[in-house]
Structure 1
Amino acid sequence: MGITMVSREFLLVVWLLILFGGTIVGALNYMVNNEDSVSRIFGYDVYKIEGSGNYVIYYPLPNGSVKVLKIGKAGGFFPVFVKVPRQEWIKEFSTTEKALYAPPTPLILYITKDGRLGVKSVTSSRIRLEGEFLDLKGSYNVQATGSCPNGYMDFGGRYCLASNWDFYFESRAKAKTFDEWVSVMGLKIENRVAEEIDFDWDLLLSRSTYSYWTIGIDVGPFTVLSVSKGHNFEGWALDVSYQSLGPLTVNSNTWERYLNIRVGYIVVHAKVPAYDKLTKKYVDIEIVQTYPIKIHSTGDYNIKELGEGWRFEKSVGQNPPRITKTPNIWSISKEAEWKRKWIGNIGNWEEAVFIKQLQANSLSSRSSLSIPIGYAAGKYLTGVSPKLGRLASALSLTFGFHKCMNAVSIAVYDVDIKPRKSCYAMYSVVSVNVRAGGPKVNVPLVFGIITDGKSPSPPCNPRTGICITTKNGDAS
């Protein structure tokens, strides 16, 4: 009888433990079913990773290292607990500088069982592994036959991946922070095509401005670009108005102006070891991410263009914007598409370019802005490897304007000309993936060119739209 009683008590305890444990797991799974924010318990981020395949969650640190936070397989029953070392960046930002700050979010790199590779920012507890960027089976109509070497996974397409690719990651991933003056907007008028110009550029960045991870993946002849939402900026706003003081006469053969602000940003690069069945060579799939973390230029500025120079009529704040006659950029993205407008009404005023970016609920072509990476970052990536050099010429820094109470973000780029001869007005946009299966977003790079298409050549032939890779800018 004693044995029977002990057995019953034991079974009751086991049953209570199972019930209690199941309740806790159920509660956790309910809590991490959050698609808007990250749930935290005792300082740990709690994630529910859905889908199939392997993943690596990682985080760049101010010292230039990349910390791997978690390596695992998706689709488990239990939630994943991850300690994110955000305090490293909090220490970095805890200065008296009146700047805008956007702490980096963790990133997840994943390879699904059906052969899709993706990278995304981790901003919610519910993470779906969706093949947003690259189909290793050969989505670009490039197929190859043959077997994979031992230790490599075959997805049935061109590439095989090392089975233990995730364990290579930590030693191969690197991060570097850059702090430099970068051109945000610009205008170039070639061959005296305009008799007069009138322009108005406005830029307002605030707490409703979000920093986006811009992700580039090099897969041989292709560069796959994507963006993933990061953190909103906190701190002091930047409000710039740069305008011409009435119509300006264009007297020089080439007329250029660029609006520059001081920006801090991260560049993270990593490799995934692969085997290319088409070329029968071992290769690395290069991945680079950029992320703006700090805008040093803050305050309120009103700048007037006088034709032969400019003056600050109002200048209150930290690190005032700079106006230059040459761009401070690495290059206009080689992936950019140039929007063209024919202007043939000689002697009459015409609107050459008008772009107005306003706040929205999600990233769109009307609520986003991109600026090329600076010269220092481009030079660094090119020095690491030729593949990274190609990616450097495709990358940019992306900002999204999202609706937020008591904060406004806006970008306006308005250029009118009185043409001296028929010409093209052009500006560039970069098409990026935002989510799986969704349409691409055309994020504008606000650099206008007004030209007749004759020497010197612009980055793109205005008649054909064919673009060439260019290297512009100066580190100074």
Structure 2
Amino acid sequence: MLGRKRVLVMLLITIIGVSIVSLVVAITWRLSEEEPLRIFGYDVYKFEGSGHYAIFYPMPDGTIKLLKTGKIGIFPTFVKVPRNAWLKEYANRENTLKAMPTPIVIFVNDKGLGIASLKGSKVKLKELEIPEISKITTASAHSCPKDYIPEGYRYCIPKNPERNWIRVITSKTVTEKISFLGLRIDNHVLKDIDFDMRLFLSEATYSHWTAGIDVGPVTLTTTKFGESFKGKGLKLEYTTPREVNPQSSMWSRYVNLDVKYVVTVYGVLAYDRYTGKYTEMPLILTYPLEILTTGSYKIYETPDGSQKYVESKPGSTFYTPSITREPHYLEIPGSADSERILINQGDGRGLIIDEWLNESWHLSSESSFSIPIGPAAVKALEKEGVLKKYPQVRRILNSISLTIGFHKTANQRSMLIYRLQATPREDCYALRYYQKLDVAEDYNKVKVPMFLVTVTNGKSPGFCDPRTGLCTTSTG
């Protein structure tokens, strides 16, 4: 009798074990990189990688919620994501483009630190790539403590932390006007110009996480796929119906839109090899939440230097586009690469820039663009005292940006056109900027363009900062 009970118990254990394995196999088989699998209100994630993780989610009140921490294993992870908070927040916002945030996972293992957006249930975890640069002052730097590994040339991080290895230092939701498009011409280098700037945003427009981390002595930037925008779109055309003659020594126009975005500062437990002290390594993430400027606009730049709104059908009377001579951004990110397009006087009138971004299945240079963050983010962090306590945060803020992409979506269209023709007075060049963002699993980087262009001969038109676009004076 005892033997029969033992057999029944063993059989029951076997059945339960087989059932659990079958359930795990079934769940794993259904997992997708594009869509999350939900069971009884919980998101199911299967991490491909190793290490310890922490999953965070931004809330409408500007705070960041820690959803779960743990160690990556063979079984899927179940997480309850409070998306209903955003559904309630966006319920009555019909006249804007809104992007639900995706949960973000930050992890660490014996290869380093990594970040991933939880867009789908199958999540490939890839550590951040540290650029190959000369190791500054490594001779005087301390070595990493036991169980710590280098993360860049200044910091060491724990490779197998059990708990309390990461925290949210602060998080701010910011609303402000930011320059999405811009053109600046220095020193009368162009006799005449005509341009065509068009920006169509719709539900084929996607928000992306952008991360910046100070690994000493450089700032590393990466981007992760987010969600599509939903709601009312934007159709903006800003053109010159006929030639315009720039009259001042620093002629500029910037197209500014109202945008809401989140900026979060994390602190990762670290050892500072320069000071020999335990500290926190700052990590900053940005995410565009809402494009507040929507509707349809057609704007002409007139020869007398003013703008004529030929068509104006605003989505909201509170948020309309503006054309200004001064830029609305913190500065061109210090991490951005520049490219010169040479313009020869002898070639006469010609096409300088002809760029067209359109939808794609993947983030690429032809389907995404980057815009700098605005000064309001810095002011908010200054008010919190973060910049005083963590001076490295300012350097990261000067290097990070917002990333927006266009992706294939049925019955929706998004695009950006930037076209510039001109007649040069002398040899000069157009200066363009790109953010080289780590997005691919094989560590390739995508050149994400910025459409804030300066045409110059390299001489200062006054006391001007080429990255901020601000001048204290201007001479003819």
Q: Does 1:9 align with 2:8?
A: yes
Amino acid at match of 1:254: M
Distance in structure 2 (CA, Å) of the matches to 1:146 and 1:193: 52
Query: Would the aligned equivalents of 1:348 and 1:418 in 2 still touch at CA under 8 Å?
Result: yes
Q: Deviations over 1:104-141 (max 9, x none)?
A: 10111111223x21112111111222113448xx8865
Match of 2:256 among 257, 260, 283: 260
Residue aligned with 1:95, SS: coil
Distance in structure 1 (CA, Å) of the matches to 2:7 and 2:438: 59
Match of 1:439 among 437, 444, 452: 444
- CA separation of 1:278 and 1:251: change in aligned 2, threshold 3 A: closer
Q: Does 1:73 align with 2:78?
A: no
Q: How much does 1:252 deviate?
A: 1.9
- CA separation of 1:472 and 1:378: change in aligned 2, threshold 3 A: farther
Residue aligned with 2:164, SS: helix
Q: How much does 1:177 deviate?
A: 0.6
Partner of 2:245: 249
Q: How much does 1:368 deviate?
A: 0.7
Distance in structure 1 (CA, Å) of the matches to 2:279 and 2:263: 22
Q: Does 1:194 align with 2:190?
A: yes
Query: Would the aligned equivalents of 1:330 and 1:471 in 2 still touch at CA under 8 Å?
Result: no
Distance in structure 1 (CA, Å) of the matches to 2:84 and 2:416: 32
Distance in structure 1 (CA, Å) of the matches to 2:373 and 2:143: 40
Amino acid at match of 1:262: D
Amino acid at match of 2:320: P
Match of 2:39 among 38, 41, 47: 41
Q: How much does 1:347 deviate?
A: 8.3
Amino acid at match of 1:305: E
Q: Which runs of 5+ in 1 are unaligned?
A: 461-468
Count of residues in correspondence between the two structures: 458
Partner of 2:361: 361
Q: How much does 1:194 deviate?
A: 1.3
Q: Does 1:210 align with 2:209?
A: no
Q: How much does 1:283 deviate?
A: 3.6
Query: Would the aligned equivalents of 1:165 and 1:273 in 2 still touch at CA under 8 Å?
Result: no
Residue aligned with 2:166, SS: helix
1:19-418 correspondence runs (5 A): 19-32=18-31, 34-74=32-72, 76-114=73-111, 116-134=112-130, 141=135, 148-149=144-145, 153-154=148-149, 159-162=155-158, 164=161, 166-170=163-167, 172-307=168-303, 308-318=305-315, 319-345=319-345, 348-381=348-381, 384-385=386-387, 386-418=391-423
Normalised TM-score (structure 1): 0.90
Query: Would the aligned equivalents of 2:152 and 2:216 in 1 still touch at CA under 8 Å?
Result: no
Residue aligned with 1:29, SS: helix
Partner of 2:426: 421
Residue aligned with 1:89, SS: helix
Q: How much does 1:458 deviate?
A: 6.2
- CA separation of 1:165 and 1:422: change in aligned 2, threshold 3 A: farther
Distance in structure 2 (CA, Å) of the matches to 1:427 and 1:341: 8
Distance in structure 1 (CA, Å) of the matches to 2:413 and 2:15: 54
Query: Would the aligned equivalents of 2:327 and 2:469 in 1 still touch at CA under 8 Å?
Result: no
Q: Which runs of 5+ in 2 are unaligned?
A: 472-476
Distance in structure 2 (CA, Å) of the matches to 1:310 and 1:157: 48
Query: Would the aligned equivalents of 2:107 and 2:115 in 1 still touch at CA under 8 Å?
Result: yes
Amino acid at match of 1:245: P
Query: Would the aligned equivalents of 1:370 and 1:445 in 2 still touch at CA under 8 Å?
Result: yes
- CA separation of 1:281 and 1:11: change in aligned 2, threshold 3 A: closer
Query: Would the aligned equivalents of 1:173 and 1:271 in 2 still touch at CA under 8 Å?
Result: yes
Distance in structure 2 (CA, Å) of the matches to 1:8 and 1:149: 53
Q: Does 1:430 align with 2:435?
A: yes
Query: Would the aligned equivalents of 1:346 and 1:418 in 2 still touch at CA under 8 Å?
Result: no
CA RMSD of aligned residues (A): 2.5
Partner of 1:466: none
Q: Percent identity among equivalent residues?
A: 37
Distance in structure 2 (CA, Å) of the matches to 1:156 and 1:454: 40
Query: Would the aligned equivalents of 1:131 and 1:436 in 2 still touch at CA under 8 Å?
Result: no
Larger mean CA deviation between 160-169 and 329-338 belongs to 160-169
Q: How much does 1:84 deviate?
A: 0.7
Distance in structure 2 (CA, Å) of the matches to 1:22 and 1:350: 66
Query: Would the aligned equivalents of 1:102 and 1:234 in 2 still touch at CA under 8 Å?
Result: yes
Q: Deviations over 1:226-257 (max 9, x none)?
A: 11000011111111010012001222222111
Q: How much does 1:309 deviate?
A: 0.3
- CA separation of 1:472 and 1:228: change in aligned 2, threshold 3 A: farther
Query: Would the aligned equivalents of 1:117 and 1:134 in 2 still touch at CA under 8 Å?
Result: no
